[in-house]
Structure formats: C-alpha cells, structure tokens
Amino acid sequence: MKTPEKTRCENCIIRQFNSLKAFSKEELKTISDNKVSREFKKGDQIFKEGEKLSGVFCVRDGASKLSKLSENGKHQIVKIAKKGEILGQRSVVSDEQTNLSATALNDTSMCYIPKQLIIDKINENPEFTRNLLKVMASDLRESDNFIVNMSQHNVKQRIAEALLYLEANFGTDDEGFLAVNLTREDLANVVGTATESCIRQVAELKKDNYISTKGKKTKIEDKKGFEDMISGF
C-alpha cells in the first residue's frame, strides 16, 4: 500500500513537531507503508468517546476538537488539536477505549497509523517512548492549568484565555484575524458555559475594545489588556 511520494512520512515536515521525530528514515518507511491518509470535512466525527481505537491519527493539517459528553447532554471541549499533534496515543498506550470524541473543526487531513506499529515502536525505540512521555507530561500540565482556569475565573476571563490560546496555537491570517473559527457554541463549550452567556461576554469584550470582529472572524486587539484582565487588573 504505497502512498504517493509527496505524502510519505519521510518527507513530511509535520513529524518534526511530535514524538515521531525520533524515528529513523528506515522506521518512517515502515510507518509510511502502513499508514492511511484520511480526509475529514468540517463537522465530520473522527472518532467517538467509548470507541476502541485501532490506531492513532496524526494531524497533517486542520483543527479538531476533543470533547466529552456529560450526562446533561452538553459537550465539554477539552482540547483543540492542531497540526502535528497525535490523537489517540493515550488509548493506545493504556489499551482502553477512548475517553474523548474528536470532531473536525475545518477541513482536516490526517494520517492513520495502526496501533500495533506504535506499540512495536514503544518497545523498540526508547527515544520515541521518551518523547511520548514528554508529550504526555506536557498535556498533564496543560490539563492542570485548565482546571485552575475553569474553576477560578469568570466567563469573560475564560473566553479571553481561550482566544489567546487559539491565537498562540493556530495563529492569525494576514489581517490579524484568528486562523481558526469556532462557532459561539463551540467557544461556549470550551469555556464551559451557555452559548448565550458566551455571546454576551464576547459582545462585552468587543465593547471594551479588547477584540474586534469582521463577519465571523475575530481579531485580538489588546493582548496586554487581556492578560491584565485575566489576572484581575
């Protein structure tokens, strides 16, 4: 199952950003021969909470949300995965069902790598395993910070944080607007609030000249002010 030259892992720059950078040319060839490229359209579900994954997804391009459904019917978005991240590693190392659902936020291309390959590599390539450890350590740190932010900040502050996070991780277009576009509902689900509350607070942020909007796009105008507001002036 050879893939076209230009999408082979050996030539893929994305791998520089994740734990796969530990692999030799030889190993990358094996992976490339076993991977499958997959495309998702905006809104497509990549996998669902509770599924048993048979491999991991390496994000080549696009953004996808990782969310969990709580019994009151609301989706809490836990993380937004960007280019270079690998989804499903956790489930593979712990050999359990996924804890989260993944959904494409825009058109997304992924490489699907069968889990046995990953497990083999964990056993064979210590550097890869160490990279994995580091990635997970940093995810844990992020989770802890997220927990603190959620419980100690009000909705306005959490929205500010979410927007800063989006800018830092996905960047802006040439006019300075955020490169990823969350619906108000998604943004509400990130900060764990009702859609209406989210809309109202965004309107406040706009009124206070922290942000501006054009169509559905959002631009952060006053990053410094944001940071001050988050830490309570």
Partner DNA sequence: CGACCGGTTGAGTGCGGTCAACACGCGTGG
Partner DNA sequence: CCACGCGTGTTGACCGCACTCAACCGGTCG
The residues of the shown chain that bind its own copies, judged by CB under 8 A, are 68, 70-72, 74, 76, 78, 90-91, 93-94, 96, 99-100, 122-123, 126, 129-130, 132-134, 136-141, 143-153, 192-193, 231-232
**Binds DNA by CB under 7 A, chosen from 30, 34, 195, 212:** 195
d(CA 150, CA 212): 24
Number of separate helices (H) and strands (E) present in the chain? 8, 10
- Which has the closest alpha carbon to 173: 136, 220, 137? 220
Candidates 192, 212, 222, 225; binder of DNA (CB under 7 A) is: 192
Rounded Cα distance between 93 and 74, Å, is 28
Task: Specify the residue, 69 or 179, whose C-beta has the smaller distance to its own copies.
Answer: 69
**Rounded CA separation 43/184 (Å):** 15
From 51-59, 91-99, 134-142, 193-201, give the range in contact with DNA by CB under 7 A.
193-201
Question: Is 183 near DNA (CB under 7 A)?
Answer: yes
Element of type H or E holding 181: none
Please, what sign has the CA dihedral across residues 126, 32, 61, 101? Answer: negative
Q: Which does 139 bind (CB under 5 to 8 A by kind): DNA, its own copies, none?
A: its own copies
Site for DNA in 116-175 (CB under 7 A): 154-156
Q: Does 218 bind DNA (CB under 7 A)?
A: no
Q: How far is the CB of 102 from DNA (least distance, A)?
A: 17
In the bound state with DNA, the residue whose beta carbon lies nearer, of 8 and 219, is 219
Q: Which residues make Cβ contacts (< 8 Å) with residue 198, sequence separation at least 6?
A: 155, 159, 184, 185, 187, 188, 191
Q: How many CB atoms lie within 10 A of CB 113?
A: 23
Least distance in angstroms from the C-beta of 65 to DNA = 12
* Contact residues for DNA, defined by CB under 7 A: 154-156, 183-185, 192-197, 199-203, 213, 216
